[in-house]
Structure 1
Amino acid sequence: MPALYRPFTKKYLYFDDFWNEEQYQLNKIFTEENEYENIVICFPAIGGRTKYWCFSTKIIPNLTLTSVDGTQCIPFYIKAEEGTRQSENITDWALKEYQEHYSDPKITKWDIFYYVYGLLHAPGYRTKYAANLRRELPRIPFAPNFRAFSEAGKQLADLHVNYESQPEYPLGMQEAPGKPLNWRVQKMKLSPDKTAVIYNDFLTLTGVPLQVYDYKLGNRSALEWIIDQYRVKTDPRSGITNDPNNPEDEQYIVRLIKKIVTVSLETVKIVNSLPAEFE
């Protein structure tokens, strides 16, 4: 089954008791028998040393998603026991609290889930509670404008969960004269001014907006995660080579880069539009 090895980087996982001894609660969150597709909000585990981040996905995330310090996940659906049906991870009591606080009976559990995701992106919240977020799970205040955070969170979740479906940003395609057509990646790198991605000897993607680098997950921007992960690399101990090139879709990585530029710019735009007041 597909799994999220690094931000915007999928690998295939053989998720089975025989191969995965420590599954934590993932076998109650992601199973083939699930009635509903699940979404989780990921963020640094307690004690994490990187700058605070959060990300959402509908596939199993790696424990070390952005660093060796670990990752914590909060799902929308959960199973109390193996074999039981999915239930919402937001209680009826919590739903009632939100509805009564905001005098809005139309608030749903999905609204609350997206509200949390939006709030966790708020720069003011991250700054004020930076120390707390390193040593405990996030505490969620009642922001004055619930709907603004909830709607922003829903937009952000759609961008991050469905990143492969986002439109491609119109980067320039600069081909090297005299070089044969080649979509194969060996090891990409950024130009010194970070406005271009040197894809290979044949192709350079130009016109990367610098605002792209404002969207960070841990110590790297989303685009830098792509450049770091989509390269040919051989493990010195096992001799196994990781090759991200897909002969059935040679231009996938080029399209992915363009989509991640879109995701990054839209994320920054939404985050900058969040209300300043969060409690």
Structure 2
Amino acid sequence: FDYIYGVLHCPAYRETYAEFLKIDFPRVPFPPSPEVFRTISEQGEALRRLHLMEDTAIGATPYPFHGEGDNVVEKPRFENGPEAGRVYINGKGTDGQYFDAVPPVAWDFPIGGYQPAQKWLKDRKGRTLSWDDIRHYQKIIKILTETDHIMRGIAMPLGDAGEG
């Protein structure tokens, strides 16, 4: 299962078979060697564990929540910094409450036609975030960041995907 999960998250596979995947089930290529199978399986396992939100897979979430306020989500926005940015949940300009050190890739990462980091906050517009909500959002940021990192490392030699 982890091998398949890894293959389906391989950027080259997704790009090569994008049109085919819109109309049919994915075809999983047979691995060209035991080493490729093992490597992609390990990457697939890491992705699966992240996507299931296993705490041991997520680890530390270095995206502190700052600012004084009531934790109400008003108009979420991302402001880029030199290396990472801030996700504001309320306020104007640099006033307001925010998650700090958020990589732009986490804010923009697409899944199924939308950006989860943006959608999660927009779906909570007008709500007060609890500390559990804040912790959950920090995990989402970490998962999206790590997913992008792992996906960029998946190298699948693509032959005929119909072989699997």
TM over 0.5: yes
- Distance across 1 between alignment mates of 2:24 and 2:78: 39
Give a deviation string over 1:165-208, Cα, whole Å, max 9, x none.
Answer: 633422243314xxxx523x333411354821112345222221
Pick from 119, 136, 146: which aligns with 2:7? 119
Q: Hey, which of these two has a bigger chunk of helix by percent?
A: 2
Q: How much has 1:214 moved relative to structure 2?
A: 5.6
Contact kept? 2:43, 2:150, Cα under 8 Å: yes
**What amino acid is aligned across from residue 275 of structure 1 in structure 2?**
A
User: Are the aligned partners of 2:3 and 2:37 in contact in 1 as well (CA < 8 Å)?
Assistant: yes
Q: Is 2:106 aligned against 1:219? A: no
**Match of residue 154, structure 1, among 45, 48, 57:** 45
- Per the alignment, do residues 209 and 186 of structure 1 end up closer, same or farther by CA in structure 2, a change over 3 Å counting? closer
Superposed CA deviations along residues 41-100 of structure 1, whole A, max 9, x for unmatched, are: xxxxxxxxxxxxxxxxxxxxxxxxxxxxxxxxxxxxxxxxxxxxxxxxxxxxxxxxxxxx
* 1:1-279 superposed matches below 5 A: 113-144=1-32, 145-162=36-53, 166-176=58-68, 181-183=69-71, 185-193=72-80, 195-201=85-91, 202-213=96-107, 215-232=109-126, 245=128, 250-279=130-159
CA distance in structure 2 between the partners assigned to 1:220 and 1:168 by the alignment:
25
Q: 1:186 to 1:174 in 2, by over 3 A?
A: closer
Compute the displacement of 1:164 (Å): 6.3
The answer for the alignment partner of 1:84 in structure 2 is none
Tell whether the 8 Å contact from 2:73 to 2:121 is kept in structure 1 after alignment. no
Are the structure 2 counterparts of residues 230 and 168 from structure 1 closer, same or farther at C-alpha, using a change threshold of 3 Å?
farther
5+ residue gaps, structure 2: 160-164
Q: Is contact 2:78–2:107 with CA below 8 Å preserved after alignment? A: no
Shift of 1:154: 0.9
Number of residue pairs matched by the alignment:
148
Q: Which has the higher contact order (CA 8 A, sep 6+)?
A: 2
Task: Give the Cα separation in 1 of the matches to 2:111 and 2:131.
Answer: 25
Question: Shift of residue 273 of structure 1?
Answer: 1.1
Contact in 2 for aligned 1:175/1:204 (Cα 8 Å): yes
Checking the alignment, whether the CA contact within 8 Å between 1:142 and 1:278 is kept in structure 2 is no
Q: How large is the Cα RMSD of the aligned pairs?
A: 2.4
Q: Give the secondary-structure state (helix, strand or coil) at the position aligned to 1:275.
A: coil
Supply the distance in 1 between the matched residues of 2:11 and 2:87 (Cα, whole angstroms): 28
What do the CA deviations read for 1:88-141 (whole angstroms, capped 9, x no partner)?
xxxxxxxxxxxxxxxxxxxxxxxxx11111100011111111111011111111
For 2:30 and 2:11, locate their aligned partners in 1 and report how far apart those are by CA, in whole Å: 16
* Bigger radius of gyration: 1
Gaps of 5+ in 1: 1-112, 233-242
Distance 1:223 1:217, change over 3 A: same
Asked whether the 8 Å contact 2:50–2:143 carries over to 1, the reply is yes
Distance 2:140 2:21 in 1: 27
Kindly tell me: are residues 224 and 251 of structure 1, through their superposed partners in 2, closer, same or farther at Cα, counting changes over 3 Å? same
| TM-score normalised to structure 2 length | 0.76
